[in-house]
Structure 1
Amino acid sequence: MYKQMKWLCLLMVVMVISFSSVSPLKKDEASNAAGGSQLSSKIAKVLSHPDLKGASIGISVRNASNGKIIYKHNGDTRLRPASSMKLVTGAAALQLLGENYRFKTEIYTDGKQKGSTLKGNIYIRGKGDPTLGEKDLDNIALALKKKGIKKIKGNLVADDTWYDQIRLSLDMPWSDEQEYYGAQISGLTFSPNADYDAGTVIIQVKSGNKVGKAASVTMTPKTDYVKISNKTKVGKVNSKNTVKIHRKHGSNGITVTGNVPLNSGTTKTWISVWEPTRYTLALFKRSLEKQGIKITGNYTAGKISAKPTKLATDHSPKLGTILVPYMKLSNNTISEVLVKEMGRVKGKVGSWDKGLSVVEGQFVDLGIGNDAILMRDGSGLSHVSMISANALTNLLYKAQTKPWYKTYKNALPVAGDSDRSVGGTLRNRMKGTAAQGKIIAKTGTISTVSSLTGYVKGKKGNKYVFSIIINNAKKENQLKKIEDEMAVILASN
């Protein structure tokens, strides 16, 4: 009897150990079984794609009505989200700054006007506006002209002290520093068009019609602050386009090289500038000159004197409006500006450290557990930033209860909508599928990483929030198609 009891106890111990040793994936499977086996089996089939071999994948699907998880795969694992991190930054900005928040650019003087002459310095003080463009600078110059100013006997000074002087986020790769998405962040910056890629110029290369001659290379905006060296040549029709555009580190010398096929049309490339504060100052000088205002002094960066007189103020569009190009076109510069702006407005310091600390203070209210996220920048460009798929879906679920939800959701790309201002980064994806027009989501892409996070209304009327994060993928060319397959499954459910 004793031996029988001994063996029975031993058997029970073994059974307990066996049942308590379920792997994380099996736990997910058990949870998914309760939420819908069909969804689980269909997604599992997609996860067997050979290009996902060796990759780390986090997936979370929630019922949008009650927040209940109905499918997860490594849902609590922190992964690099790429630009899906903008969902966190955007939500925090709407929460802290508000939909109606506007950035400012202010003009001051420390002098006095006598007749048409202003004796003293003119200061242009930037307060982070990532939308400041040529029309805005022209309007400011026109406002000074309307005050009767024709001559400024003093210096033109750019004040960018609203933010600190650290221009690039902590984990910015050196190879991204000249790219439009890696532009330097300044309190005073300039956007060449309504995409609001602040701190950049647009380089246009046009082939022309003479083989062997240099192609046409122009720049928007026109400015002597950036110098272009054109080393291109027009090649035969159907020859390979080998154009490369490079800005030398620490300078604004841009070299354009390579073959441009005959009659191949015009291509546009956005390139970041070195030191956007002085870039903006040079363009403001041009706007003043267009209005016939002459400046006798120097053009420099500095800080407003102790008791200045305000002459003019320019306001950006409302934050709710800015959020559209920010989310739909995945604008990194706006993201990092928002981080610094939240730091400045809510923490009195316009820095990444303070801004990220302020954003962190909103995590709980936004449904993000502190152990589910590591945030090193606002855009997700960092390869150190991490968040779990479950945290992202809970954020989107909680967002539905916020007064700014409609603005937030409206800013997300819409699958298959060819209108760039609507479809954004999803405009060419999922066309002709059940997901077209049904997937409203933020995309994310950095090297070895792809993500898709958003809302979907299924064919049967089911509403979901979902997040797909793929990390460490050696073969990247199929990742978007894999995400789309999963999105179509949700839209068809």
Structure 2
Amino acid sequence: MSSKRYIKLSAILLLLAAAFFLFIPDEEEEPLFITASDEKEDGYVSLDDKFDRVLDKELLDGTVTGISIRSADSGEELYSKNGDIRLHPASNMKLLTAVSALATLGPEYRFATEVWTDGEIRGNVLHGNLYLKGKGDPTLMKKNLDQFAVDLQNKGIQRITGNVIADDSWYDDVRLSQDLNWSDESNYTGAQVSALTLSPNGDYDAGTVIVEVNPTEDIGGQAEVTLTPETDYVTIINETKIVNGKENKDITIEREHGTNNIIIKGKVPVNAASSKSWVAVWEPAGYAVNVFKKSMEDKGISFAGLPEVTNGVTPESSTLLTSRKSIALEELFIPFMKLSNNGHAEVLVKEMGKIFNGEGSWEKGLEVMEQIAADLGMNTDTMMIRDGSGMSHKNMVPANEWTHLLYDIKKAEWFNVFTNSLPVAGEEERLIGGTLRNRMMEEPTKGNVIAKTGSITGVSGLSGYVTSIDGKELIFSILINNYLGDTKEIRKIEDKLVTILAEHEF
């Protein structure tokens, strides 16, 4: 090869090499295609990785966490961790109870309470028995019984020769759900379910009496105890002691099993604040009649019958004297769902059983709930439903089934009634924020998260709706089971996961 040809060939090779290196991207240059791993280096973190970081906590060792995230627009599953594992839902069970009641009874449904007689009014005397018949109304209060007394007074009745009888036959006589812990029996969270019951306040904690303990100035003496409503159906056993203001308050308020003896023990400092406890009564039908008799006595109506409460069934031939309807379900759902009222849930179960299966029992009511769940696309073969409130540790529902439910009801005509009943994160008003009023109190979760909370021993749950920072509406369910740590710390994990959803770009 001649030297000229060699020089030309070398020049060509140099030019080709220069062209090759000219098109190699610089290390700082943006790559043409971005992989998931490249995105992380670029500041992007996937939802999976964000969740993994939160869930990598010693507090969760030994627990089972089920998480399901869905698009509220399409129902598409966006994330699932143990989403098909059956877990205890705690009060997330109220989601299905609420949906079932809205789908069957309807938002405008109202409970009834009636006053009947098997006798007749002659002059100012009612010759016969008076029946207070309950049909499940958890909103019945003393003021309503006072109005009944006025109604009887307006009919000219001043004396009743017979008995005042409690009729709670609208439901069966099973007062407590099958898996309720015995330790919950005297607490308002485990109040007995009866077709005839009474609430002490506007939260409608049916079947309870409010016991208030106040200090006196008598050091060494007893604290003052008052009841709302005033009743002698329960007996107060006051074993308190007033102590000096430097000591700590330490009192217990418990009802003895099988009785209405409420025992109050402990020390009450002379400068202590008032203490209130909502105590579930034994046999609430008798409680309602006891207070009703007091209402009538206050209106000057006397009785010749037995002084003690009598139970019975209103004869078919009886005459209706007066009645009332409760607030509509859509109104009742505010305290029911916002404040997670167990009694409301169980009443709804029995009412569904009574109206649709002819029997006001848990068995027949739960059959209705299971049918509604199946109709809405939930896989009932992977679920166990034992009550309406979620108090049972035998309830089992996977997280994916909760997000299925929350998606499938979006087209229901009562959907807004349902979502309006859910607690709203960070909203301090008690009947707006509910059980979420002190959680997720900052942007972007405050006012953006609506969800049902749930908590029983070793179980915490949160299921509902949130909108992401880029406007994507999401449905989520988080169930954490078998934890031994502080419930507050478990809730912080739930809140962090939901906050991630609110901050994430999809």
TM-score (norm. length: structure 1): 0.91
| Larger Rg, first or second structure (1 or 2) | 2
Aligned to 1:60: 68
Residue type of the partner of 1:85?
A: M
Quote the residue 1:10 is aligned against: none
Write the distance in 1 (CA, Å) between the matches of 2:324 and 2:147: 8
Distance 2:486 2:127 in 1: 60
Identity, in percent, stands at 48
The question of whether the paired residues in 2 share the 8 Å contact of 1:186 and 1:276 is answered with yes
Aligned positions of 1:43-82 closer than 5 A: 43-82=51-90
Give the equivalent residue in structure 2 for 1:324: 334
2-structure distance, mates of 1:208, 1:263: 8
* Residue number among 286, 300, 307 corresponding to 2:310 in the alignment: 300
CA distance in 2, matches of 1:471, 1:236: 44
String of CA shifts for 1:193-236, please: whole Å, max 9, x gaps. 01111110111122234443322221111100011111112333
In the alignment, structure 1 residue 341 sits paired with structure 2 residue 374: no
Q: Aligned to 1:167, which of 171, 175, 183? A: 175
**Residue 83 in structure 1 maps to residue 117 in structure 2:** no
Alignment of 1:268-417 (within 5 A): 268-298=276-306, 299-417=309-427
Looking at structure 2, the residues matched to 355 and 239 of structure 1 have their Cα atoms a distance apart, in angstroms, of 50
Is 1:445 aligned with 2:460? no
Corresponding residue for 1:469? 479
Give the distance between the partners of 1:372 and 1:458, measured in 2 at CA: 30
Which residue in 2 is equivalent to 1:483?
Answer: 494
How far did residue 238 of structure 1 move? Answer: 4.8
Alignment of 1:125-274 (within 5 A): 125-274=133-282
Contact 1:448 1:476 (8 Å CA) reproduced: no
2: CA distance between counterparts of 1:354 and 1:365?
17
How far the C-alpha of 1:342 sits from its partner, in A, is 0.2
Q: Deviations over 1:445-477 (max 9, x none)?
A: 000000001111122211111110000001133
**Structure 1 residues 60 and 238, CA gap change in structure 2 (3 angstroms):** farther
Q: Which residue of 2 aligns with 1:431?
A: 441
CA contact (8 A) 1:414 1:439 kept: yes
Shift of 1:365: 2.2
Q: Secondary structure at the match of 2:150?
A: helix
Helix, strand or coil at the partner of 1:166 = coil
Residue 366 of structure 1, CA deviation: 2.4
CA contact (8 A) 1:129 1:187 kept: yes
Could you tell me whether the CA contact under 8 Å between 1:438 and 1:458 is conserved in 2? no
* Aligned position for 1:459: 469
Deviations 1:134-182 (A, max 9, x none): 1111111111111111111111111100000011111011111111010
Looking at structure 2, the residues matched to 217 and 280 of structure 1 have their Cα atoms a distance apart, in angstroms, of 21
Q: Structure 1 residues 304, 482: closer, same or farther in 2, change over 3 A?
A: same
The corresponding residue for 2:130 is 122
- CA separation of 1:402 and 1:238: change in aligned 2, threshold 3 A: farther
Q: 2:20 corresponds to which residue?
A: none
CA distance in 2, matches of 1:204, 1:433: 38
User: Matched residue of 1:62: which SS?
Assistant: strand
* C-alpha deviation, 1:416, in angstroms: 0.9
Q: Which residue of 2 aligns with 1:105?
A: 113
Partner Cα distance (2:93, 2:74) in 1: 23
Q: Residues 279 and 408 from structure 1, CA distance in 2 versus in 1: closer, same or farther, beyond 3 angstroms?
A: same
> Contact 1:77 / 1:389 at 8 angstroms: preserved in 2?
yes
TM-score of the pair, normalised by structure 2:
0.89
Q: Report SS of the residue matched to 2:100.
A: helix
- State how many pairs are aligned: 459
Deviation at 1:261, TM superposition (A): 2.9
Q: Which amino acid aligns with 1:64?
A: A
Distance 2:140 2:282 in 1: 17
Residues in 1 aligned to 2:498 and 2:304: alpha-carbon distance in whole angstroms: 61
What is the deviation of 1:481?
1.0
Once residues 202 and 424 of structure 1 are traced to their aligned partners in structure 2, the CA distance between those partners, rounded to angstroms, is: 20
Measured in 1, the distance between the counterparts of 2:102 and 2:286 equals 30
Q: Supply the distance in 1 between the matched residues of 2:57 and 2:475 (Cα, whole angstroms).
A: 23
- Report the secondary structure of 1:169's partner residue: coil
User: Which residue pairs with 1:23 in the alignment?
Assistant: none
2: CA distance, partners of 1:91 / 1:210:
53
Q: Measure how far apart 1:269 and its partner are.
A: 0.9
Distance 1:126 1:136, change over 3 A: same
Distance 1:314 1:243 in 2: 39
**Equivalent-residue separation in structure 2 for 1:105 and 1:39 (angstroms):** 52
SS at match of 1:217: strand
Question: For the residues of structure 2 that align with 1:402 and 1:367, how far apart are their CA atoms?
Answer: 14
SS in 1 for 2:454: strand
The alignment partner of 1:391 has SS state of helix
**1:468–1:483: 8 Å Cα contact kept in structure 2?**
yes
Amino acid at match of 2:496: E
In structure 1, stretches of 5+ residues that fail to align are 1-35
Q: Distance in 2 between matches of 1:253 and 1:436?
A: 44
> Secondary structure of 1:364's match?
helix
Q: For residues 167 and 175 of structure 2, what CA distance do their matches in structure 1 show?
A: 15
RMSD between superposed Cα atoms in Å: 1.4
Structure 1 contact 204–266 (Cα < 8 Å) conserved: yes
**Cα shift at 1:313:** 1.1
3-state SS of the aligned residue for 2:405?
helix
SS at the partner of 1:186? coil
What is the rounded CA distance, in whole Å, between the counterparts of 1:294 and 1:449 in structure 2? 52
